[in-house]
Structure 1
Amino acid sequence: MSGEIESSKTQGQSEIIVDVEDLHKAYFLGKVAIPALRGVDFQLKRGELVCIMGPSGCGKTTLLNIIGGIDRPDRGKVRFEGVELTSLNDNQLADLRLDKLSFVFQFYNLLPLLSAKENVEIPLVFSGIDKKTREQKAADLLEIVGLKGREEHLPTELSGGEQQRVSISRAMANDPDLMICDEPTGDLDSKSARNILQILYNLNKEFGKTILMVSHDRRVALICDRILHMLDGKIVEEEQTPSFAGSLLDDSIDS
């Protein structure tokens, strides 16, 4: 990977960054409760790359939304770096999402009238970073994901894979402690998907970024350290992936 970024690796590599305990969540269709989570328990260590895998409707996205402070559970606890998320108000959760964790979505969620660089700058604007500093950091992040020379392109001038690279750069802007990736390759062709996986793998292995990913595709999950298999709102199995799995990725992230 080209470019430079400060590593977030710490001596406390085994520290638990996310601790989920007996998590329950239901949604209502009229007066009928539809359970989404039915007692989820797991821990995520700092520096891990973990995938939650399962079929559509099993509760994966609901779980990510609660861990990311977008939604709240009906019962149970989520601790992020030791802080119980249900104890935080909406403003505190917003600050947490800005400073400590970030999201990469399946459909990129870029602002269409802003350039690639300007999209990456958005979290830095909200953090009060001066214009010169944020422009340089955005350019550096885009170089890391292989988009040097495309900084001024609008999203409509970029391929799907390139838009997702911009999304990843934006997610890295405030150097988050946790990146949450919801089906990051779900809308991409196989070559673009491989490129995105290579970037995420490198961010984890080279820069120590903690990444929690969701996918229904085992080929995606195999680059991770662990796979948590989810079914009907529960984690039903934990799988350690083979140590060579990451080597199956192509080293190149060129378009």
Structure 2
Amino acid sequence: MGRWSRAVAASFVPWLRPADGWRWLDVGCGTGALTAVIADGCRPRTVAGVDTSPGFVAAARDAGPAAAGFAVADASALPIADGSCDAAVSGLALNFFPDQRGAVAEAVRAVRPGGTVAAYVWDYTDGMQFLRLFWDAAVATDPAAGAVDERRRFPACHPDALRTLWSAAGLAEVVVVPIEVPTSFGDFEALWGPFGLGQGPAPGYVATLDPSARERLRRALRRIVPARPDGSIALTARAWAVRGRRPDRPRAV
């Protein structure tokens, strides 16, 4: 999934209409794809990424921009002062936060009045075409697979849910838009191969299968994937992006 993250980030960051000199916080930064786009294109005063995974943070430090700082921290307990950022953002991580409301509330606390809180998540309903095809094939060969389909597991990855979450946190001028990127594969094996790597819900499901069940799934997926005459596969992936502004004054209770 990471290979597509930076492509989405490249569209997401300009959509925020950032100014030079902003102080940025990337919550759930993973290996630093969004942080790198910010550092490379926004002339930030500061940019920091936090994640609960020490492994991801170590990878971000090794591969990320020298100007960025990274730390292990929970999205629901950010180790920064109130109002110390101009923008708190999150890329492809919100649906993995155990306390999404708490995470958004912490992001609001972290930004100054007038600051931006924004995120993007994959559209697991039908916008991630190669994942939708995968789960359709998985359920066709194993009806129990429906219980771990991201469409069911991540209901927050929907425009209405995102808008509600941002509005409930007291953010103003909430906007949700789609961001679509191409996902191309040289052949079927290029699409199938990453499902065997064990990282993420779909590969995690594949890892539970015995060899015969895995082969049934591979064949079922191959039958429904739309390949070109040369064997290449051209699909698209859609993310939903949401942004809101912290009001200059607290909302009346």
1 or 2 for the larger relative contact order (CA 8 Å, sep ≥6)? 1
- TM-score tier, shorter chain, comes to 0.3 to 0.5
Give the structure with the higher percent helix. Answer: 2
**TM-score in terms of structure 2 length:** 0.32
